[in-house]
Amino acid sequence: MGADALRAKGSIFSRIVWVSIGASILLIAGLWLVTDLTIRSTLEDSARKAVDVDLAGLVDIHASGDTDELVRRIGDRLSLRPSEGGTPHYLLLGDGDRLAGDIPAWPALDAAVSESGTIRIGEGTRAYARATQLGPDLRLLVARETDEAEALRARVRVVFIVGGAAFVALVAFFGQLSAGRLQRRIAQVNLALRDTAENRGGLPTTERHGDEIDDLAHDSAAVIGRVQNLLTAHRDTTDRLAHEIRTPLMHLDARLAKALDAGPSDDVSRRLVEAREEIRRLVGVLESLLDIAWSKAREGDHAGLKPVDLSQVVSRMCELYTDSAEDLGLHFGTAISPGVVLDGEEPHLARLLTNLLDNALKYVPEGGTIRVTLTPGPVLIVEDDGPGVPEADQEAIFERFHRARGASQGGERPGAGLGLALARAIAERHGLTLEYRAKDKGACFVVERKRA
């Protein structure tokens, strides 16, 4: 299933459409059930009244005439079949013998108490019937078919199915149409929020409806404006800070270089060289702090990211570090899958790998092994068989100015403690994670795409 299909499946608008369709089906089913119960109740009530009226008439005929007259009247009624349905049926028993009627056997109805109920006639015809006692040995049963109601109920059922299907189709059509329009407007807002730097003119929404989405777009535009102002202020501040600090330091370094050229004593020369190294360290710390701040400020901002062939970047950096590793007596191995592409900024991705490799070169002793692996995903792994990182330091090493102690060497290693902090900031800027994973021997740093 593709990303678009998954996104469509998880869309709130798709869920609203499906909920509307489901609610429509339930509504139609409920209306049909109520209608069916009403039809059935009405027809049974009508059959009950017809049976009672017919029975009362026959009782009067028997009371005013005799049994023979009653037999003739029952015969007259059986000869007529009403066009509106509700066919009547009768059974007149005298001393247990059938005197008239078309019902083959007496049902389980007590004539002494004028019991009524639904009976079966023949192969299954349903009818409402009532029995009454006309004399000590004379019983009369009158019934009316109710199966005609099934035909009416079937017609109503067809009407509900056809009409309901058309109604559900209309709900789905207009629901999808409305949801599509809302989805496009929300997508415009999300696009503007996702790429704030590329939408300096505000949200691209031009059509106004005066509804809540317009309010959301307006508020989002205000947020984008504030974020852009903060980014601009942050960039101006960092640029000015870098200029105000780096420039005097570089001037001071130039003066120290001139002092060295003047040929001072060995002791003074040594101190001047140390001072210049300290200046370069301060400049390096300053630049790392600025890079960390810049990367964190741009985290989640996709503006400026372009497809980068990460395989080529990693291969090129590993070639540069191969010689350095050989000079230190280290074994340097790589396993780089070709064609791994990532949206990012190539210089910063190279800086990320550089920091990880510098960290490995710093801690792995002579004779050790460093291995770089890149696989699709992307998943970049830099591991070694050096002293590793003590468990207590495995998360703290990504904090600024934290310097881990070698497991075997003990004591802090030289450095400002900013390399891994900067590497993680760069990874997060690109939607990646940088984690330390414990292993039996050595260190293992894994860079991979952040899980949703």
pLDDT in tens, 35-63: 988 888 887 888 889 899 999 999 999 88
Looking at 115, 136, 151, the residue that finishes a domain is 151
Higher pLDDT, 15 or 413: 15
**Same domain for 316 and 262:** no
Per-residue pLDDT band at 8 (split at 50, 70, 90):
low
pLDDT of residue 90: 93
Q: Looking at the domain assignment, is residue 280 inside a domain?
A: yes
Crossing angle of helices 12-64 and 67-79, rounded to 10°: 140
CB 91 within 8 A of CB 98: yes
Assess whether 255 and 360 both reside in one domain.
no
Burial 350-368 (b: 16+ CB within 10 A, else e): bbbbbbbbbbbbebbeeeb
Residues 380 and 250 in one domain: no
Q: Which domain holds residue 285?
A: 212-297
Do 230 and 267 have their domain in common? yes
The CA distance from 279 to 260, in Å, is 15
Give the count of domains, the chain. 3
Q: Is 194 part of any domain?
A: no
Strand partners, 117: 129
Q: Is the pLDDT of residue 205 over 80?
A: no
Residues 240 and 340 in one domain: no
- Contact, 363 vs 413, CB < 8 A? yes
- Of 151, 172, 191, the residue that ends a domain is 151
Residue 197 within a domain: no
- Residue 374: the pLDDT is 93
> Based on the domain organization, do 310 and 275 belong to the same domain?
no
Would 370 be classed as within a structural domain? yes
- The DSSP bridge pattern shows strands 138-145 and 97-101 to be unpaired
Residue 18 predicted with pLDDT over 80:
yes
pLDDT for 127? 86
**CA 128, CA 44: separation in Å to the nearest integer?**
8
pLDDT category, 410, cuts 50, 70, 90? very low
Instruction: Give the per-residue pLDDT at 404.
Output: 59
Bridge partners (DSSP) of residue 382 are: 372, 445
Closest CA relative to residue 96, chosen from 136, 56, 127, 143: 136
Kindly tell me if the per-residue pLDDT of 273 is higher than 70: yes
Q: Is residue 133 a part of any domain in this protein? A: yes
For residues 128 and 217, state if they share a domain. no
Task: Provide mean pLDDT across the span 311-334.
Answer: 90
Q: End-to-end distance of the chain based on CA atoms, in angstroms?
A: 17
Does the residue 169 lie in any domain?
Answer: no
CATH assignment of the domain containing 252:
1.10.287
What is the H or E stretch that residue 135 is in?
A: strand 125-135
Average pLDDT over residues 213-233: 80
Q: Please give the average per-residue pLDDT across 260-271, as a whole number.
A: 84
Domain boundary among 232, 266, 297: 297
195: Cα within 13 Å, side-chain hemisphere: 12
For the chain, what is the mean pLDDT?
83
12-49 burial by CB neighbour count: b if 16+ within 10 A, else e?
A: ebbeebeebbeebeeebeeebeeebeeeeeebeebbbe
Q: Say if 139 falls within a structural domain.
A: yes
Sequence-separated contacts (24+) of 15-19 with Cβ below 8 Å: 16/175, 16/179, 17/172, 17/175, 17/176, 17/179
Average pLDDT over residues 141-161: 82
